[in-house]
Amino acid sequence: MRAYHHDGDNTADQRLPHEYTPFSPVTPEELGRLGVLYWRIEKRDDWLEQINAVAQERSYRNRDVIKVSKEAMGDVYESKLKTFYEEHLHEDEEIRYILDGSGYFDVRDEQDRWIRIALTTGDLLVLPAGIYHRFTLDSNNYIEAMRLFKDEPKWTPINRPADSNPFRLSYLQSVRTTV
Ligand SMILES: CSCCC(=O)/C(O)=C/O
Ligand SMILES: [Fe+2]
C-alpha cells in the first residue's frame, strides 16, 4: 500500500498515479484518523487463516470475489468503471482484500482533498461507512479482490452530494471525536 495526496487533476487519465508535486505521502496513522484501516497480509500459505481472523474479530460474515477487467466483465466493464469512479459513500464498511492485480482507492481527507491509496496483492483495506471515496483501475487494467461484508452486501453507492445522509453525519461525528 502506498498512500499520498492526489494532484487534483481531473482532466488526465484517472489510471495514472496522479502524485501531487512535491510528493506528499500519507501514513497509515493519518488514514486511521479518517477511519480508514489497513492490514498487510502476504499471499502465503496462511493468508486465508489471517483473513478469517480479521473477519471474525470484526464480524465480517459474508464474502465474495470480484474481478475487474474487460475480459472478466465484458459488456458492463465500462459502465462499472464509471460507477466505481463517481464520488460516493456507502451505508456500510467497504472491505477489500486484494488477491491479484492493483488499483487505486481515493478517499477525501478533512480538508476535502483526495488521498490516493495504491493497492496491490496482499493489501487489506477497510473504508468506514459514510466516507466519500471512488475507485479506479491503474494502467495494468486488472484487479481481483475479495469483498467482505458484515451482513448482506449493500451494493448501492450513494453519490455525492449526500451531506445529510445519517451515515455521513455519523462518520463526520466519529472523525471529529478522533481528532
Ligand atoms: C476493487 S473492488 C471494485 C471497486 C468497488 O467494489 C467499489 O465499491 C468501489 O467503491
Ligand atoms: Fe464504494
User: Residue 50: which CATH number?
Assistant: 2.60.120.10
The answer to whether 98 and 122 are in contact (CB under 8 A) is yes
Protein residue closest via CA to atom 7 of ligand 1: 84
Q: pLDDT tens digits, residue range 40-94?
A: 999 999 999 999 999 999 999 999 999 999 999 999 999 999 999 999 999 999 9
Residue type, 127: L
pLDDT digits (tens, 9 = 90+) for 111-169: 999 999 999 999 999 999 999 999 999 999 999 999 999 988 777 899 999 999 999 99
Q: Containing domain of residue 155, as a range?
A: 2-171
pLDDT of 178 reads: 65
Q: Which atom of ligand 1 is nearest to the CA of 68?
A: 3
Cα of 177 vs centre of ligand 1, distance in Å, is: 28
Cell 499471499 belongs to 43
Distance 88 CA to ligand 1 centre (A): 11
Per-state percent for the chain, helix, strand, coil, to nearest 5: 25, 35, 40
| Burial class (CB within 10 angstroms; exposed 0-12, middle 13-18, buried 19+) of 38 | middle
Nearest ligand 1 atom, CA 133: 10
**What's the gap in Å between 65 CA and the centre of ligand 1?**
11
176 domain residue, yes or no:
no
- DSSP label at residue 58: T
CA distances, 28 to each of 1, 2, 23, 79 (Å)? 9, 9, 16, 31
Q: Which residues does the annotation place in the binding site for Ni(2+)?
A: 88, 90, 94, 133
- Domain count of the fold of the chain: 1
Report field, pTM of the whole predicted structure over 0.90: yes
